[in-house]
Amino acid sequence: AARAVVTDQRCVRGKFPPDALPPLQCCPPASASEPVNFTLPDPAEPLRTRRPVHAVGAEYMAKYARAVALMKALPRSDPRSFYQQANVHCAYCTGSHRQAGRPDLGVQIHFSWLFFPFHRAYLYFFERIAAKLLGEPGFALPVWTWDVPEGMGIPEVFANEASPLYDPIREPSHAPPKVADLDYILGGGGEKNLTDEQQILHNFRVMYKQMISGATLPSLFLGQPYRAGDPEMPGAGTVEWIPHNTMHLWTGDNSRPNAENMGVYYSAGRDPIFYPHHANIDRLWESWRGIVGGRRRADFADPDWLDSSFLLYDEEARLVRITVRDVLDIGKLRYAYAGAGLPWLNARP
């Protein structure tokens, strides 16, 4: 029998770690109407090209900052507000949303095959909300490309205290120009103390292992199957573990008990760097499909994966049901990636 994980409209207060920072409730505003099924954007829409933060320039980053400021200025009851957008992530990681037909079980989108598709759908709407508020239909999210040397650290623009992109709850010792450590281990002895050149080479090797030599099968890259009724978090794919989780921990404030904001699921979406970070994760999924593609089928063909669905609000504040199947072709979603390259492609250790 089919066992796709289907998100129900019912949402409850989820599970938070000890010493979590409020709000400790992250369900979205109730929708007055039933969710509508997702439909693809008009194929005539301009293609949104997501480019690296380091490449787009200050004027473009000022646009992203303005979009975040506009979202922060919306009332908290508006599902498009920054407050509610951060809560979307919180709700899907604290088990707040219930599974359809299984009100005793929450939906968890980490450490399983739901990781990449959920975050793609989430960013898709976040980007369209930003574009709508800016009045720029072609606006595309900038990408924090921490796997290429020019992007290997928190971009300066996020460290400017006067910017809407600043978050005071980050690890101060990892402020720019510190080079990122892609397989960072939180806690004592976590800092590698390499030279910048050594760290970059180390990071390339990490990327090669996570994207190529360790990721030869869909389950290895995308994560383990997670079906309706299964215990949550059956197993993460290579990139979800490292560098995804590790870069969350590297960015969050290590002196806080849960490494807020970026270092823990419930608060990660509160930092405006979360979205460019996930644009990079999404870009790596697309890159991986190109690397393994041609030789074998890149994604799962399992209907339990394809029919899993999430409830998200769109740029018109309409509640939408979107499935994994809906997000597999980014061209049909009218966006693309450009401008970064894959400098680790030949970094076989």
- In the stretch 102-131, what mask flags binding to ligand C2O with x, by CB under 6 A? --------x--------x------------
Nearer to ligand C2O, 282 or 314 (CB): 282
Q: Which CB atom, from 199 or from 280, has the smaller least distance to ligand C2O?
A: 280
CA atoms of 113 and 117, how far apart (whole Å): 8
Query: Which residue is listed with tokens 């980050």?
Result: 170
Query: Across the chain, how many H-helices and E-strands are there?
Result: 11, 8
Please list the residues that pair with 48 across neighbouring strands: 335
Q: How many C-alpha atoms does 92 have within 13 Å on its Cβ side? A: 25
Asked if 117 and 329 count as a contact pair (C-beta separation under 8 A), the reply is: no
Question: Judged by CB, which is closer to ligand C2O: 38, or 266?
Answer: 266
Q: State in angstroms the smallest separation of the CB of 277 from ligand C2O.
A: 7
Closest approach, Cβ 14 to ligand C2O, in A, equals 14
**Residue owning tokens 């508020």:** 133
Give, as ranges, the residues between 258 and 277 that touch ligand C2O (CB under 6 A). 265, 268
- Cβ closest to ligand C2O, residue 110 vs residue 334: 110
Q: Which is nearer to ligand C2O, 278 or 283 (CB)?
A: 278
202 known ligand binder:
no
Structural contact between residues 117 and 107, judged by C-beta atoms closer than 8 angstroms: no
CB of 249 to ligand C2O, least distance (A): 11
C-alpha 63/C-alpha 41 separation (Å) is 23
- Minimum separation from the CB atom of position 244 to ligand C2O (A): 6
> Residue 308, CB half-sphere, CA atoms under 13 Å: how many?
28
Q: Name the residue type at position 1.
A: A
Annotated binding-site residue? 89: yes
Binders of ligand C2O in range 168-187 (CB under 6 A): none
* Token representation of residue 348: 């076989």
The least distance separating ligand C2O from the CB of residue 145, rounded to whole angstroms, comes to 15
Provide the phi-psi class of 212: left if phi over 0, else alpha when psi is between -120 and 50, else beta. Answer: alpha
Q: Is 248 in the site for ligand C2O (CB under 6 A)?
A: yes
> Binding residue per annotation — 278?
yes
Distance between CA atoms of residues 320 and 35, nearest Å: 5
Closer CB to ligand C2O, residue 170 or residue 278? 278
Pick 70 or 308: Cβ nearer ligand C2O: 308
Closest approach, Cβ 245 to ligand C2O, in A, equals 7
Q: Which of residues 42-101 bind ligand C2O (CB under 6 A)?
A: 89, 93
Which residue lies nearer to ligand C2O by CB, 47 or 233?
233
Query: Is residue 248 marked as binding?
Result: yes
> For residues 292 and 272, what is the distance between their CA atoms, to the nearest angstrom?
32
Please, which residues have CB within 8 angstroms of residue 181's CB and are 6 or more apart in sequence? 191, 192, 199, 202, 203, 246, 250
Give the three-state DSSP class for 246.
Answer: helix
Does the annotation flag 277 for ligand binding? no
User: Distance from CA of residue 186 to its chain's centroid?
Assistant: 20
How near is the Cβ of 111 to ligand C2O at its closest, in Å? 10
How many chain residues touch ligand C2O (CB under 6 A)? 9
Q: How far is CA 153 from the centre of its chain?
A: 17
Q: Assign 8 to helix, strand or coil.
A: strand
Site string for ligand C2O, 274-293 (x = CB under 6 A): ----x---------------
Binding site for Cu cation, residues?
89, 110, 119, 244, 248, 278
Residues at the binding site are: 89, 110, 119, 244, 248, 278
Contact residues for ligand C2O (CB under 6 A)? 89, 93, 110, 119, 244, 248, 265, 268, 278
